[in-house]
Amino acid sequence: MEAKYRSADVCIYCQFLSDEKRKVYDQSELSKEHLLAYSLGGTVTLRKASCKYHRDLTSAFELDVSQRSYRHYRDFHGVQSRGPQEERDARLSREVPITVEGYDGKKGFRLVAKGEIPLPFIFPRITQLPTILTGLPYMSEIGLAFVTEPPDQRDVDRFLRKHRIKTFTATSDGFVIGSPQFFQMLAKTAHAFLWAEKEGKGFAPLLMDIIEGVNVNLDYCLTYIGEDPGGAKSEEELSLEEVTREGVTYFVADIAIKAIKQLPSYKVVAGIKMDVG
């Protein structure tokens, strides 16, 4: 793993909680924290940066994204995984039923290996600028949509030719609409990256409620970047910029999950710049 940053030697989440709440969580064994989840291609870590409570908390929602939402994609494209290759191969070879229509017009069911099926890709597209920057109320019916990107037509054509069928219908393992875990994952990544870049100083965090699942309106500080559904990705997987609005300077993290190429880049307003005393 890439060790780009010094050891934190403090839980980067508990640091911003009240003294009373922080005492509840055991600080004696701090573990390393991937800025971006390992299962989503992350390689950069922050050593001694998470208490057991927050390690388990962040691992749970990152696991939800990588397993429940995008496991098929990760298996299909060989994204890095802690599990043995044998388990991945077993999932891909497991036969699942699909609905097919033959060239003769007859419809029926057929069992095929899951790893062969070209599935659509579903992801959240956030078009409304963060309300913390605009002052406008967040409107989920306008600002948030779930985009279904069809599979590559070449993969579809190969699949149809191999099984000698005209059409097929399969159930996607795609993004679970309405699931907050995806946004918790983005918030955690932005917070951890900001902490690493600033070594925990000079900012007031904005994302702790989202990370801890307290704030159910998870979209107020997120925005989709890119003109087309695939989204033009940033050159760097993680980058940081400063944006000033009405005399207040915000730290904005740009997150490009390159291991899942169909995901666009996202920007997350992670904190407010503060004077370092």
Distance CA 192, CA 55 (A): 12
Q: What is the mean pLDDT of the chain?
A: 82
The more confidently predicted of residues 129 and 201 is: 201
Match 């934190």 to its residue by tokens.
Answer: 8
Residue 80 has pLDDT above 70, yes or no: yes
Torsion of CA 184, 187, 189, 194, to 10 degrees: -160
Under DSSP, the state recorded for 56 is H
Task: Summarize pLDDT for 102-159 with one digit per residue, the tens.
Answer: 999 999 988 888 888 888 888 887 777 777 777 766 665 555 667 778 888 998 999 9
- pLDDT value, residue 88: 74
Q: How far is CA 89 from the centre of its chain?
A: 24
Q: Residue 97 is which amino acid?
A: P
- pLDDT value, residue 219: 60
Helix (H) or strand (E) holding 267: strand 265-273
Task: Summarize pLDDT for 213-225 with one digit per residue, the tens.
Answer: 887 665 666 665 5
Residue 276 has pLDDT above 60, yes or no: yes
Instruction: Read off the pLDDT band of 85 (50, 70, 90).
Output: confident
Q: Are 128 and 138 in contact (CB under 8 A)?
A: yes
Instruction: Read off the pLDDT band of 172 (50, 70, 90).
Output: low
Phi, psi of 70 (to 5 degrees): -125, 25
Instruction: Read off the pLDDT band of 229 (50, 70, 90).
Output: very low
Residue 44 sits at the vertex; the CA angle it makes with 224 and 55, to the nearest 5 degrees, is 85
3-class state of residue 68 by DSSP = helix
Residue 230 has pLDDT above 60, yes or no: no
Model confidence, pTM? 0.83
Q: Give 60's contacts (C-beta < 8 A, 6+ positions apart).
A: none
Portion of the chain with pLDDT greater than 90, in percent: 34
Task: Summarize pLDDT for 20-70 with one digit per residue, the tens.
Answer: 777 777 777 899 999 999 888 888 999 999 999 999 999 999 988 888 788
Using the CB atoms, write b or e for 103-121: b if 16+ within 10 Å: eeeeeeeeebebebbbbeb
CA nearest to 230, candidates 174, 147, 157: 147
Q: Residue 237 is which amino acid?
A: E
For residues 91-108, give the mean pLDDT.
Answer: 87
CA nearest to 261, candidates 13, 40, 10: 40
Q: Give 3's contacts (C-beta < 8 A, 6+ positions apart).
A: 45, 47
Q: Are 273 and 251 in contact (CB under 8 A)?
A: yes
Helix (H) or strand (E) holding 47: strand 45-50
